Structure 1
Amino acid sequence: MRAAKIAYKPVGLALGAVSGMVAGALFKQAWKKLGHDDDAPDATDEDRAWGEVLLAATLQGAIFSVVKAAVDRGGAVATRRATGVWPG
């Protein structure tokens, strides 16, 4: 049982990296669909208003959280199916 949890660590790290890339791509597409510039504003972007910066941060955080949760959950379910042990 413990071996499966230990073996899941590198899988979890790889899934985390992949989920970050997927979330980043989804955020870029969502930001473009909202009719804003191609690039989302940074917090220190002097030419962008507070509202736009905070909207971008909120959207980005929501997308990253949902994608990460979905990928983590999917990885845990796949691990249980393969090993019979929940990795958490």
Structure 2
Amino acid sequence: MADLSFYVSPLSEEIREEGRAKGRAEGRAEGRAENILIVLGARRIDVAHATREKITTCRDPELLRGWLLRSAVVATAEEIFGEDAPSEQ
């Protein structure tokens, strides 16, 4: 019979908890990115593909939180990035 003791060990539980925490953080990031796009859409602000991509690929919940707050007051979608705004080429 196979030794299954690893699956009930403290190390195994720690690995599972890390995975759950990572999943929760990713979920928060995805939700905030979606909320940013919802706010901009409700305000009828056009969102360029590059801007949409930057928002949806960001995984930093705190950075996204700042962008979400800014999305309520900016005149253009690119302004949510503040100093991180993509430069005009």
> After TM superposition, is the score higher than 0.5?
no
**With structure 2 as the length reference, what TM-score do the two structures score?**
0.43
**With structure 1 as the length reference, what TM-score do the two structures score?**
0.43
Higher relative contact order (CA 8 A, sep 6+): 1
